[in-house]
Amino acid sequence: MIKVSVVVLNWNQPELTIACLNSLLAAKRGKKLSLEIILVDNCSDPDKLKKLKEYLDRVRFQKRSRKVSFVLMENKENLGFAQGNNRGIKQALKNSTDYIFILNNDTEIDSDCLIALIEAAETNHRIGIISPKIYYAPGFEFHKDRYQEKETGRVIWYAGGEVDWVNVLGHHFGVDEVDNGQYDQEEDISFATGCAFLAKREVFDRVGVFDKRFFLYLEDLDFSLRTIKAGFRILFAPKSIVYHKNAASSGGSGSALQNYYLTRNRLLFGFKHGYWKIKLFLLIGLIKILFDQDKVRKEAVFDFLKGNFGFKDINSIKANS
């Protein structure tokens, strides 16, 4: 038997999480695949956590849940994406898993997704991470007015990726394109999005877990580079499909929260992995931000310089503005 542990992180989004778990339970597993679902709650409101507990109580007795084990881990504080997932990863390793599937709670997987991921992983021992093709879930496209109704569900959010050193971010291949088969080839990539990826336990044994300093954003880019530096390949496997309710779990793009963490974490990532020209570019940008009127970005730079990483109360920045 091949054991796959799926780590799903929840924070005050029981409806999204339940839909994600239902898609996992409905997915094909074949005779050789054993599934463990590790649900990590990042200190949700009691009433919302109660909904998840009631769901787990019900689903444990359903026919489709046979040969599936469930673990609920309750954090006493919001540990963010990085450290929240780390708790689930460490539990999976302790439970002697073969593979760990990191999956956002605002996703749903295709019925063949798990089998396709494992089949791709088993083709070569040097493959450490396998990334699925990710579509926008219907109705969650960024440019909704571009697409005909028949195209929804085939609009690409991620078809592999790479490090964008110009902007010091992760770059998605195919984003906003309608899928007409142009990304149907397996290929090695340099960036696996934390939205959904499967990793062999050997990767975590050798590379470690997410760097908790990032808290939120770019921890997946950092993990990808560390994986490649350790000698593993990252493979894009287009036969495995995931649907993403884009930004549904974080409340949307362009927020003060996103602005803060991306600003601080780009500096952390760039100075950790970049060569001297990248560091010089970031240093110049850092100085410009210090003279900017954007209080959120300025605070992000100050925190980077002082080594203040992890969680940040964004409301405290606004209150002091």
**pLDDT tens per residue across span 207-237:** 999 999 999 999 999 999 999 999 999 999 9
Strands 161-164 and 169-172: antiparallel
* Residue at a domain's end among 244, 267, 302: 244
- Quote the number of domains for the chain: 2
Residue 316 has a pLDDT of: 84
Provide the 3-class DSSP secondary structure of residue 171: strand
- Boundary of a domain, candidates 222, 244, 266: 244
Domain boundary among 190, 212, 244: 244
Considering the domain architecture, whether residues 104 and 177 belong to the same structural domain is answered as yes
Position 52 in a domain: yes
pLDDT at 315: 85
Range of the domain at 286: 256-320
Question: Is 149 within the bounds of a domain?
Answer: yes
The strand pairing partners of 199, in sequence order, are 100, 129
Can you tell me the distance from the alpha carbon of 218 to that of 258, in angstroms, rounded to the nearest whole number? 11
Residues 175 and 123 reside in one and the same domain: yes
181 & 272 share domain: no
Phi, psi of 156 (to 5 degrees): -80, 135
Per-residue pLDDT, 246: 84
pLDDT given for residue 251 in this prediction: 44
Structure tokens, 80: 């963010």
Residue 249's pLDDT is 47
How far is it, in rounded angstroms, from Cα 227 to Cα 25?
Answer: 29
Give the span between the Cα atoms of 238 and 236, in whole angstroms.
Answer: 6
Find the CATH number of the domain harbouring 117. 3.90.550.60
Same domain assignment for residues 85 and 223: yes
Give the pLDDT of the chain (321 residues) as one tens digit per residue: 999 999 999 999 999 999 999 999 999 998 889 999 999 999 999 999 999 999 999 998 776 667 799 999 999 999 999 999 999 999 999 999 999 999 999 999 999 999 999 999 999 999 999 999 999 999 999 999 999 999 999 999 999 999 999 999 999 999 999 999 999 999 999 999 999 999 999 999 999 999 999 999 999 999 999 999 999 999 999 999 999 998 654 445 578 999 999 999 999 999 999 999 999 999 999 999 999 889 999 999 999 999 999 999 988 886 555
C-alpha–C-alpha distance, residues 223 and 233, integer Å: 12
85 and 123 together in one domain: yes
Report yes or no on 249 lying in a domain. Answer: no
CA distance readout (Å), 228 to 107, 108, 222:
26, 28, 10
Asked if residue 203 and residue 279 are part of one domain, the reply reads: no
How many beta carbons lie within 10 A of that of residue 28, not counting itself? Answer: 12
Co-location of 189 and 300 in the same domain: no
